[in-house]
Amino acid sequence: MPHQTTSGGGADVRHCVGDRAHLNSAHVNLDTHIDDVLAVLATEEVGEAVLVGHSYGGMVITGAADRAPSGVVRRLVYCDAYVPEDGQSCWDLTSDAYRSLFLDGAAANGYAVQPPSGSDSARERTSTGLFPAADPAGRGRPA
């Protein structure tokens, strides 16, 4: 998604990794995505940010908020996303069906997982070709 700013609302929407699809490789991981968010926050000198994550993006915003300096992140918004507790991974939070999907999908090139046919994510897939898994019934959420 290109950089978008709403008039007067102060909203700045970015899709960090999708804008850099040319960097898509097996070396890109959760730490890369967290670092991307932190770099935007630092470069733009953002304070009291509201980070929004969908699906796997919940992992990213949680990590970014954890690593950001005090006062940089004000709130996290999870939209049908993984909501990890300290030490939990996406693998921990997803269902057996999605674990199988990840393993089968990654077999093609070792790292990228395509969305299942007919899913909303298949229609809205990012330019990276990566599938941020979503399975609301199969993942844990903190109370």
Q: Check if the beta carbon of residue 51 is closer than 8 Å to that of residue 77.
A: yes
Give catalytic residues, as residue numbers.
55
Q: Once rounded to an integer, what is the mean pLDDT over residues 47-64?
A: 93
* In-domain check, residue 88: yes
In a domain, 143, yes or no: no
Q: Which residues contact 30 (CB under 8 A, 6 or more apart)?
A: 59, 60, 63, 90
Kindly state whether residue 31 falls inside one of the protein's structural domains. yes
Tell me the C-alpha to C-alpha distance, in Å, between residue 90 and each of 4, 42, 48, 142.
28, 26, 26, 14
How far apart, in whole angstroms, are the C-alpha atoms of residue 61 and residue 52? 7
Which residue range(s) make up the domain with 114? 4-138
Sequence letter at residue 37: V
Phi/psi at 137 (nearest 5 deg)?
A: -75, -20
- C-alpha 8: how far from its chain's center? 26
Domain tally, the chain: 1
Q: Is residue 44 part of a domain?
A: yes
Q: Helix, strand or coil for residue 134?
A: coil
pTM assigned to the model: 0.70
Does the residue 50 lie in any domain? yes
- The confidence band for 106, taking pLDDT boundaries of 50, 70 and 90, is confident
The answer to whether residue 32 sits within a structural domain is yes
User: Under DSSP, is residue 119 helix (H, G, I), strand (E, B) or coil?
Assistant: coil
Question: 52, 136, 54, 59: which is closest to 98 by C-alpha?
Answer: 136
> Look-up: residue for tokens 């069906």?
97
pLDDT by residue (tens digit) across 14-42? Answer: 655 555 666 677 778 899 889 999 998 99
Of residues 5 and 43, which shows the higher confidence score?
43
